[in-house]
């Protein structure tokens, strides 16, 4: 259990009003209910993560337990507390494991978003909360997937979406709390049965149109991850439950 560490952050949070929606993947077209929650407006930056490792040395590059991070963890840093000269401190933190991202959020009395929460907010464009049927929306996302070195750009440079959230698309992929449940199907998404066709023929057929293909790529990469992995284009942001 981590002590609460509410260090100063420039980021705000916005209220996401929950609803029922149909994800692009899931057996029997399962409708998912998302409850109200708050989400960080921006992904966590390199500058903010540096504050975190200063306060919690156990998550510094040379101190982290190997069970919780692979050898790529913070591999773009000079050492425990120094960044490379070329580093943009306002870019999203990357080379971060799921364990590290989870710890960061918990230290602020927050958590990582679930897949359903992340996808629910990410299906919005600048004006519409469910823009998945818009060809322009999907084309923009696919164009980003082909763009080089977007992880080095500053947060907040692209337009915010209809919820008031920036950079869900355009900079980096983002960790989710239950990323490793991607292949689990069924009404609760917590069944022990795995759909062996999800990333085979049946999934490929569904992924042929633009509306599905961008989401298909996200689900596919999540399915390939392990919690200790660290990648140059994978960051995170935090969410918070609504306190009653």
The string of pLDDT tens digits covering residues 16-40 is 999 999 887 644 457 899 999 999 9
Burial class (CB in 10 A: 0-12, 13-18, 19+), 109: middle
Contact indicator for 75, 24 with CB cutoff of 8 Å: no
Contact indicator for 38, 61 with CB cutoff of 8 Å: no
Q: In whole angstroms, how far apart are CA 24 and each of 28, 38, 78, 213?
A: 11, 23, 41, 9
For residues 177 and 204, what is the distance between their CA atoms, to the nearest angstrom? 25
Average pLDDT estimate for 159-183: 90
The pLDDT value recorded for residue 243 is: 83
Residue 138 binned pLDDT confidence (cut-offs 50, 70, 90): confident
The pLDDT value recorded for residue 198 is: 36
pTM above 0.75, yes or no: yes
Percent of residues, the chain, with pLDDT higher than 70: 81
For residues 107 and 145, what is the distance between their CA atoms, to the nearest angstrom? 31
Average pLDDT estimate for 168-180: 93
The pLDDT value recorded for residue 208 is: 42
Give φ, ψ of 130 to 5 degrees.
-130, 95
For residues 105 and 101, what is the distance between their CA atoms, to the nearest angstrom? 6
What's the chain's average pLDDT?
84
The pLDDT value recorded for residue 110 is: 96
Contact indicator for 109, 190 with CB cutoff of 8 Å: no
For residues 68 and 135, what is the distance between their CA atoms, to the nearest angstrom? 40
Average pLDDT estimate for 220-224: 85
The pLDDT value recorded for residue 239 is: 97
């Amino acid at each position: 259990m981590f002590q609460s560490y509410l260090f100063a952050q420039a980021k705000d949070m916005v209220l996401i009003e929950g609803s029922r929606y149909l994800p692009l993947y899931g057996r029997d077209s399962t409708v998912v209910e998302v409850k109200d929650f708050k989400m960080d407006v921006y992904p966590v930056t390199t500058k903010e993560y540096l504050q975190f490792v200063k306060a919690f040395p156990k998550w510094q590059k040379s101190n982290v337990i190997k069970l919780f991070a692979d050898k790529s963890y913070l591999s773009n840093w000079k050492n425990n507390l120094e960044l490379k000269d070329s580093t943009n401190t306002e870019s999203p933190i990357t080379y971060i494991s799921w364990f590290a991202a989870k710890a960061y959020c918990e230290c602020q009395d927050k958590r990582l978003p679930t897949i359903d929460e992340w996808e629910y907010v990410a299906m919005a464009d600048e004006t519409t909360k469910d823009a998945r049927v818009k060809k322009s929306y999907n084309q923009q996302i696919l164009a980003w997937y082909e763009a080089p070195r977007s992880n080095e750009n500053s947060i907040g440079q692209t337009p915010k979406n209809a919820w008031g959230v920036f950079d869900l698309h355009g900079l980096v992929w983002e960790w989710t709390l239950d990323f490793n449940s991607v292949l689990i199907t069924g009404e609760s998404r917590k069944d022990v049965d795995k759909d062996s066709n999800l990333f085979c023929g049946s999934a490929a057929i569904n992924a042929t149109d633009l509306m599905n293909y961008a989401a298909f790529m996200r689900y596919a990469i999540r399915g390939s991850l392990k919690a200790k992995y660290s990648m140059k284009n994978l960051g995170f942001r935090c969410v918070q439950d609504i306190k009653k």
